[in-house]
Chain A
């Protein structure tokens, strides 16, 4: 931001809390006209919460929020749009059945006497599609074009509502390399036209390329700001994590025991043409890295019997098993803390006790009668050993923070004393403190001889936690890296399908 120009958008000491979690503990941010500001931070740092406040999705509890020098408080998305602020969601919100013109003007259709004025609308839509460099006919059905182009339609839609500030939340997470380049071109173009962009991304390379300035959040607070030459990888990671990586992940590497899980030429139903082979030994922490959509979650789900393998052999403790449902997996001593905690990990409207005991109920029951004592014991053990912060065992899990919810999922499984614990994105949406506790716990379980297999999209997590890591690319295992070989470059190289050694 130039010294003379006052910020177009400014927030100061913004606070926001949700039941059980203080998401923003007083954050500040400013944005000049025609500036690209990158907002970075680990999951749970409060980026998305702030963006939702800026875009009028939810109100802040306290703090100052100014647009163009005028204090504002949005009650709904339309309020934000009136002030020229538009949010491009992580998940695109186009209506796949409507054409591009209809999508661009959804809710703001040009109409005459209640009838849609198609010619005017199409002419106008053309103008905005050109602005984002999209040369498709306006009659194209939105659902039929690739996701990268849909994103451009979203941007055209925002511009058509006269947006002065675009907020882009992980815009490249599902784009190809080429689509990403196109998007960058558009963003740079918009900057020239005086439109400001808040760009949220985990991909630090993109941030280096695009951002004029970087604001870093950590744990709901400002962790620092970088401009110009300061914007480099090392500085950003340091501010995001807040400490050196080595002290965050306290790994002691142990001598692994015999193989607990052996996956031999297994094909998942999602990638029937790609046989997968891997192994996890007792006491070993094995990471699976890769880009979103590489088939990592599907692999864990196959081992857990959610989507049974269509071919190949699964061995547990040296015994080949047919695992065709989570029941058989659990009987074989396998546990999965799934990626989608709310949908698959927990029954949110039920209590801490009911969730902790759900898997062990049957084991502890005598002829089907609930064993309430065992249930209490399982819950107490979980709450104690996981340090779950809950007022009592009868708390509804919906009201707990993401970190505590994840601890309940883990507590549920530890009651089953599994041989193999699989974790899919174990710390997604969890604050830094709870994250560290979960890492410690995983480390402890491994040191006690449990085999751990985890999937993570957070590079630091894979680097910090793994004894060994597999990298997946488009359904295949692109390579295996020992702890010594693990580096961000090596992982990205394999994850992007580059099989040549670097």
Chain B
């Protein structure tokens, strides 16, 4: 009898693991466990990540900082489902994304992820509104593109093409595009990297405020440690490893940070 109970328990546990029902047992929104990434260029192997582990809570504003080549972007790409781990595992809401195949990853990117790139990556043939619509057309629970653009302060720039916008405006279109998807996770790869000081600050404030209001989990990559105080959590990276994780109980609003 005892044997049978043991056996049933064992089966249940395996089933839960298999089905990815772990979220009921896991409090972390994002969890990386010993993630390694090796790029192959010709015959040469480059170790981008040498075993990265960290976790992120739902609604956190996370800063990942570190020098060039530390593996920040690689981590972000893995989180965003646009790159795959070589080994280790990555969970989002308890589901093991690192096991996903191509089709599942596409769905994951479509539903759960919003991306903001350093160089905006807007489609030059489409105006601001169309660029946002490009993203929302394939999402179910998306926000209204026009309203989102107004929200980022581009109400009068709806029909302008990227070439007719300044860098800051382009980045705002990119943010609107990411936000309008209503993603669970907003990933920003050096969003201010190509912008001047003041514009960069405005952009960061925009990101911080919107996410506070929408309760969105945000990860921002930067090499600028000065903005670290604005996050709930600071993950410092170096040489493909997590150097330190600092939890900040009282994040500072961007406008009070100077660098």
Q: Do A and B come from one complex?
A: no
Residues of A whose CB lies within 8 Å of any CB of B are none
| Chain B residues in the interface with A (C-beta under 8 A) | none
